[in-house]
Amino acid sequence: MIVNQQALHGITTGFKTIFNKVFSETKVLWDKIATKVPSETGEENYKWLGKIPRMREWIGDREIQNLAASDYTIKNKDFELTIGVDRNDIEDDKIGVYNPVIQDIAQSTATFPDDLVFELLKGGFENKCYDGQPFFSTTHKVGKKTVSNKGTNKLSPISYAAARSGMMSLTDEHGRSLKLIPNLLVVAPGNEEMGRKILLAEQIDGSTNIYKGTAELLVVPDLAGSDDAWFLLCTTKPLKPLIFQERKAPKFDALIDDKDENVFMRKQYLYGVHCRANAGYGFWQMAFGSTGEVA
């Protein structure tokens, strides 16, 4: 192949077509537990996370809800993935060998929010949320009460029932129900068997399984390595338990001008993708996490 700008632009167009097709067709899991929030600056402050607003009887003047109870900020970060295509491969008509690489880049880009969100979920026993406590903690404050959304028991019908009851019993500082009904059980591959037993089996140990169908099971490969941990979430609210914040959507780029340093010095044409984003925690009340370390 004669290497000129016309040929290079044709190759770039082909790569973009492959990238866009695979990117749009790749199935992701992050959106089941995280809400996508657009960002307009380098960081976003979620001070309104300090309180879940509730309707009240109107007696006297309106009561202005305090939405500045916390100072929780998610800072955007830059991410990229780049490959180099050797000029000799283009001259020798070997460009086809790069098509699977472009497909892999597209798939990796599409599932990148999975990496951010589920790493954050795994780290919820240490990483702090808007109230200054770890997202999964035994010392969350609701008014004068201390509330826990953290457990240590292995996943079982008994521990599942306790977590479900605890979340549904949560109230605000005035004692009013938060109306939370958990609907998603998230487990690592190592806990899939027990998760299916709890949510899909007709019977457990010879007795009717009263918890069948009470939640959807989500088995997440990204949680491998934390095989005993499990999470029960309420994802039916406008804001899900986690936040995926996007400042700049992924964009496929190319450096193919002969005057570019990478071409002149290393005879490499560069193709890659970059974005700006990050992830953070929403309301801890909508999530229960257990380390699964206790039988």
* Mean per-residue pLDDT pooled into runs of 10, the chain (295 residues): 84 95 97 97 88 62 55 94 92 90 97 98 97 96 95 98 98 92 98 98 95 98 96 96 97 89 88 97 97 95
In a domain, 60, yes or no: no
In a domain, 286, yes or no: yes
In a domain, 221, yes or no: yes
Confidence (pLDDT) at 55: 61
Distances (CA, A) of 153 to 125, 163, 200, 206: 14, 10, 21, 23
In a domain, 212, yes or no: yes
Cα(38)–Cα(244) distance, integer angstroms: 9
Of the candidates 233, 236, 228, the residue with the CA atom closest to the CA atom of residue 281: 233
Confidence (pLDDT) at 125: 98
Confidence (pLDDT) at 69: 56
Helices and strands: H and E segment counts in the chain: 7, 15
In a domain, 158, yes or no: yes
Q: For residue 6, is it left (φ>0), alpha (ψ between -120 and 50) or beta?
A: alpha
Of the candidates 294, 293, 30, the residue with the CA atom closest to the CA atom of residue 186: 30
pTM: 0.89
In a domain, 93, yes or no: yes
Tell me how crowded residue 250 is: count the other CB atoms within 10 A of its CB: 21
Pairing verdict, β 150-153 and 287-294: parallel
* DSSP conformation letters of 109-132: HHTHHHHHHHHHHHGGGTSB-TTS
Q: Which residues pair with 263 in a beta bridge?
A: none
Confidence (pLDDT) at 1: 75
Q: Which amino acid is present at 127?
A: N
Cα(280)–Cα(130) distance, integer angstroms: 10
**CATH number where 193 lies:** 3.90.1690
Cα(249)–Cα(234) distance, integer angstroms: 27
240, 283 Cβ separation under 8 angstroms: no
69, 47 Cβ separation under 8 angstroms: yes
Reduced to 3 states (helix: H, G, I; strand: E, B; else coil), residue 263 is helix
Confidence (pLDDT) at 102: 96
Report how many domains make up the chain: 1
Whole domain around residue 69: which residue ranges?
5-55+65-294
49, 130 Cβ separation under 8 angstroms: yes
In a domain, 131, yes or no: yes
Confidence (pLDDT) at 62: 61
Reduced to 3 states (helix: H, G, I; strand: E, B; else coil), residue 29 is coil
Radius of gyration (Cα) for the chain, nearest Å? 24
Cα(17)–Cα(180) distance, integer angstroms: 43
Confidence (pLDDT) at 6: 87
Q: Please provide the size of the chain in residues.
A: 295
Which residue carries 């040929």 as its tokens? 7
